Structure 1
Amino acid sequence: MKKPLALFAAPILGVLAMLALPMSAEAHRAWLAPTSTVLSGTEAWVGFDAGMSNGVFIADHAAMNLSGLVITAPDGSTVAPENLHRARYRSSFDAHLTRPGTYRVANVMGGVIVSYKQGGETKRWRGAEADMAASIPADATEVVATSSASRIETFVTLGAPSLTALTPTGEGIELVPVSHPNDLVAGEAATFKLVRDGQPAASLEVTIARGGARYRDNPEEITVTTGVDGAFTVTWPEPGMYWMNASVRGEASGDRMAYSAQYNGVVEVLP
């Protein structure tokens, strides 16, 4: 059964906040934090924690579902995570780095979220856009859908930095390095670009927060806006682990359904 796209005309309320809603100071922030970001030698192990919380890197709300976890090696191949574990407030895993260069560690989720009524009961379906029409019952009413894309990532480098693993996939919001994400120093400016579906993401508000807020009266967040080329620049005030977030959403128009996309990145700034 094929439904006209006009039926999929409004964003769903009450679905996963990390996929469908812009971040705010009150929203739960998704983060993926490594134990180290710059390592030497011919091989190394790095541990990762992943969770969602009010304050970044504070495991106090929910563990992250890592079903979309992809570790991209410096040569573009994938690395299997090891020692995966999901606790109450955080998920964790290890990565064995055996090739020199930069690794991209990302939890990527996407697809379509559909809400509809059948027999007076509200139901939801989530899956690939290609499966949407065949998966919604013929007698469904009040059908609304949102296309969503979420990327939560961090970067680690063994030896000299490289760029192959950082090549954009063309899906959702992605970070394109101008400054390398594993070559950041306190007091120095760094520039990155954001792209959405491979195109420059202009006029996006980027929130940048440093870890350790639990021990500070002021969260010391930084807010910048991308230019027409998707670029933004930040001067790191202190060493530490930093979280970056940008999100976009749009209403349905023409033959395009409503959409939401979100990016959450973590980088380490060294002294």
Structure 2
Amino acid sequence: MKKSIALIAALAALALPLSAQAHRAWLAPTSTSLSGAEAWVGFDAGMSNGVFIPDHAAMNLGGLVITAPDGTTVQAENMNRARYRSTFDLHLTQQGTYRVANVMGGVMVSYTQGGEQKRWRGTEAEMAAAIPADATDVVATRSNSRIETFVTLGATSTHALAPTNEGIELVPVTHPNALATGEAATFKFLRDGQPLANQEVTIARGGSRYRDAPEEMTVTTDADGAFTVTWSDAGMYWINTSVRTAAEGGRMASNAQYNGALEVLP
């Protein structure tokens, strides 16, 4: 079958989903397709053993960016961080599709100064001034994480889905709020605006707490970064891919990850 089926706090949260997939990061809406002149949607966000099950840690939402159908940025309301999950509401006032993303990134540096091992975290722009001139054994790693979902009021639209060309991004060929069981859906992954080719993608259906075995599959992107999935069951699905690259040719090492939530309707 063809490929079917505050910054330091943010960086600390970013390290969790990148650590050997120990816990899975997710941002899930209460609804993805709504009707009417306006509507409200609630969101849960956390890191957990099973997707969409708040059993490990709440997500830091310091990088939350909500893009409205017209491309403007809108604010979340009623934000709260509990022990196992963070929550917020979004008031939908425009017709079309909203992109709701928690985007985190920065640079983590380890170095030696005066025989003592030290660490620093911050932005790439701050790094040159922050690392002492007499530092040795400098190892820098750039990190980027995008955790997102999509919701639509009325008819779907695509303006908010345009890539930013930073980190790993999902570019829908099939609209993310037009998914149904038995139908094939195609998406593309980009990294810094370029196709993420030959990349493994994990897809898992939520609700595993009430099943004997988790429903999970792995697909691989083609040369254009594209992959196709035919949905066998309705539900909320978690999509993940991540890339680690070593320092090479003057470029620092990097970690990048994508975690998405998509709803498939009957």
TM-score over 0.5 (shorter chain): yes
Amino acid at match of 2:119: R
Q: Percent identical across equivalent pairs?
A: 76
Matched with 1:200 is 195
The 2-side partners of 1:226 and 1:167 are apart by: 20
SS state of the match for residue 155, structure 1? strand
Alpha-carbon distance change, 22 to 179 in structure 1, aligned in 2, over 3 angstroms: farther
| 2:213 pairs with 1:218 | yes
SS state of the match for residue 126, structure 2? helix
SS state of the match for residue 247, structure 1? strand
The 2-side partners of 1:252 and 1:112 are apart by: 13
The 1-side partners of 2:37 and 2:17 are apart by: 37
SS state of the match for residue 177, structure 2? coil
Matched with 1:169 is 164
Amino acid at match of 2:16: A
The 2-side partners of 1:116 and 1:218 are apart by: 44
Q: Which moved more, 1:127-136 or 1:226-235?
A: 127-136
What do you get for the CA RMSD once the two structures are aligned? 1.2
Q: Deviations over 1:138-192 (max 9, x none)?
A: 3333221111110000000000000000000000000101100000001211000
Deviation at 1:122?
3.2
The 1-side partners of 2:122 and 2:251 are apart by: 17
The 1-side partners of 2:118 and 2:79 are apart by: 32
In the TM superposition, 1:41-190 aligns within 5 A as 41-190=36-185
Structure 1: where are the runs of 5+ without partners?
A: 1-14
Q: Deviations over 1:117-145 (max 9, x none)?
A: 33444332222111101101233332211
Matched with 1:10 is none
Q: Is the 8 A contact 1:252 1:259 kept in 2?
A: yes
Q: Deviations over 1:67-96 (max 9, x none)?
A: 000000000001101011000111010000
Matched with 1:268 is 263
The 2-side partners of 1:252 and 1:135 are apart by: 20
Matched with 1:246 is 241
| 2:233 pairs with 1:234 | no
State the TM-score, normalizing by the size of structure 1.
0.91
SS state of the match for residue 130, structure 1? helix
Q: Which has the higher contact order (CA 8 A, sep 6+)?
A: 1
The 1-side partners of 2:78 and 2:39 are apart by: 15
The 1-side partners of 2:161 and 2:65 are apart by: 12
The 1-side partners of 2:45 and 2:115 are apart by: 38
Deviation at 1:35?
0.4
Matched with 1:6 is none
SS state of the match for residue 116, structure 1? strand
| 2:17 pairs with 1:18 | yes
Amino acid at match of 1:17: L
The 1-side partners of 2:239 and 2:120 are apart by: 30
Structure 2: where are the runs of 5+ without partners?
A: 1-13
Alpha-carbon distance change, 264 to 169 in structure 1, aligned in 2, over 3 angstroms: same
The 2-side partners of 1:51 and 1:118 are apart by: 37
Q: Is the 8 A contact 1:201 1:230 kept in 2?
A: yes
The 2-side partners of 1:22 and 1:204 are apart by: 16
Q: Is the 8 A contact 1:22 1:248 kept in 2?
A: no
The 1-side partners of 2:35 and 2:144 are apart by: 34
The 2-side partners of 1:205 and 1:231 are apart by: 11
Alpha-carbon distance change, 22 to 231 in structure 1, aligned in 2, over 3 angstroms: farther
Amino acid at match of 1:28: H
Q: Deviations over 1:19-57 (max 9, x none)?
A: 4x453xxx2000000000000001000000000011100
SS state of the match for residue 149, structure 2? strand
State the TM-score, normalizing by the size of structure 2.
0.92
